Amino acid sequence: MAEPIDHANRARSRKRVAVIDFHRISYVIGMMFLVMTVFMLPPALTDILAGNPDYWVFFGSAFITGFLGLMMVMSSRGAWSDEIYLKEGFVLTVASWIALCLVATIPYVFFGRGLSLTDAWFEAVSGLTTTGATILDNLDELPPGILLWRSITQWIGGIGIVLMALIMLPFLRVGGMQLFQTENSDRSDKIVAKSSELVRLIATTYFVMTALAGIAYALAGMSAFDALNHAMTTIATGGFSTRDLSFGYFENPWIHWIATFFLIAASLPLVLYVKFVRTGNLNVWNDMQVRGFLRFVGTAVILLSLWYYFTREVELATALRIVAFNTISIISTAGFSLGDYTAWGPGAVGVFFMFMFMGGCTGSTTGGMKTFRLQVMLITARNYLKQLVSPNRVVVSVYNGKQITPEISASVLAYISLMFICIMLFTLVLSFLGLDFTDSVSAATSALANVGPALGPEIGPSGTFKNLPADSKLLLTFGMLLGRLEFFTVLVVLSRDFWR
């Protein structure tokens, strides 16, 4: 006998997919604006203490942002609840990132100094997406307030990325992220109430890691201001520096090793550290993703260090330090530089271009494809080969003890395919906008993978994006948002079917 159809549950299910409450979205964005208002005050105070007259830039920006946030919260008061529906989740994720980038642009607009509106938008988007590409030069001579604001935007973006990856993306089933679905990101819709404890633990971990990095930098010889800024951008794997030479400005080798250590730490899932605090067990080797990431990084550093040592007249320790720093900086998509690695020769350029795609672990602040997607792709390909050899053989794909369902495999392969399609399209458009092929393909990859510096002579690790055409800058900012929001999150909202 057929089971009766539960029409009430079907209706509720359709509602969960279809409902978009813009008052609720406005309330959330308004609250985010109020948080941004608070973060605009430290740069103002920094300029006051430094005797710099640009403090008004941040007080003015804070007033505008706070006013907008207060109006949005007041007008949407009572609209908030613990339920977020599927379509609402997509719109909220995209709208919140764009809205935060818009208010982060305000200080750059007020700052002036020859910055166009496009330049201000570029710097803000690059900061909040932790891409790290910049149009600013002469950093050593800029007021401390604007330098601190750049670092703060990356620090805010870093924690936002982690929370989005752990809570929203599994809920939205984007790019295979449902493989990491937990009780905090299930489909029961009570996502906010269930995630509050995780948010608190992740935020605490993020703050502690930043503090430890800052203390380590200061003990190694950085000034307090440099240590604070580089701690924020290191843990966020963002890449903004207070110096034109990035880490090349600091001669103490210990500073380079400290940065390398914390970049690796920031490339691992922050949940790993939360579990360590709870259980006292930090067995990273039990996690397939972490194990694969550390093996890849270790192998790459050893092989490149030996190549660098035998092709240059340097000590082995020096070769290891320079290679380890630059390798993990690119793989983690931080984009800090210790010298110009594009001057190492064509082979090194090719290797570092490959590194741009990888990224760190899911649940970290890094960009790129993420290690787990590469592993799922390899597992899927391996099992497909097994079935070609033995068609009747039943092969079950498993990742970290969880079955890789056809839906997850398709989602991962679709993500990787879409990333390469976007790189090709962006490269083509940038070429028509006047960039040569090297600049075009590396800038496209850098933006979409949120790496920062590209590989061309002008926009490489020793250059800036300042002299690119305005159209190219706007396209690259779209690429930064597209990559940071995992492609599908943005494209779904832009699709016609989404709004039917």
Residue 352 CA to residue 322 CA, distance in Å, equals 14
Alpha helices in 220-252 (DSSP H): 224-235
Mean pLDDT of 466-482: 96
The predicted pLDDT at position 330 comes to 96
**Least confident stretch, 102-111, 222-231, 455-464:** 455-464
Residue 223 CA to residue 188 CA, distance in Å, equals 49
pLDDT tens profile 297-336: 999 999 999 999 999 989 999 999 999 999 999 999 999 9
The predicted pLDDT at position 286 comes to 83
pLDDT tens profile 267-292: 999 988 988 887 777 777 788 999 99
Mean pLDDT of 425-452: 95
**Least confident stretch, 54-68, 79-93, 210-224, 240-254:** 79-93
In angstroms, the Cα distances linking 217 to 42, 220, 257, 315, 463 are: 20, 5, 10, 24, 25
Mean pLDDT of 109-128: 93
203: exposed, middle or buried (Cβ count in 10 Å: 0-12, 13-18, 19+): middle
pLDDT tens profile 175-184: 655 655 544 4
* Per-residue pLDDT at 345 exceeds 50: yes
* Per-residue pLDDT at 422 exceeds 90: yes
> How many residues make up the chain in this entry?
500
* Per-residue pLDDT at 83 exceeds 80: no
pLDDT tens profile 147-164: 999 999 999 999 998 888
Residue 177 CA to residue 359 CA, distance in Å, equals 15
The predicted pLDDT at position 17 comes to 52
pLDDT tens profile 197-247: 788 889 999 999 999 999 999 999 999 999 999 999 999 999 999 999 999
Packed helices 346-358 and 437-448: angle between N→C axes, nearest 10 degrees: 30
Choice between 445 and 177, residue whose per-residue pLDDT is larger: 445
The share of the chain scoring above pLDDT 90, in percent, equals 64
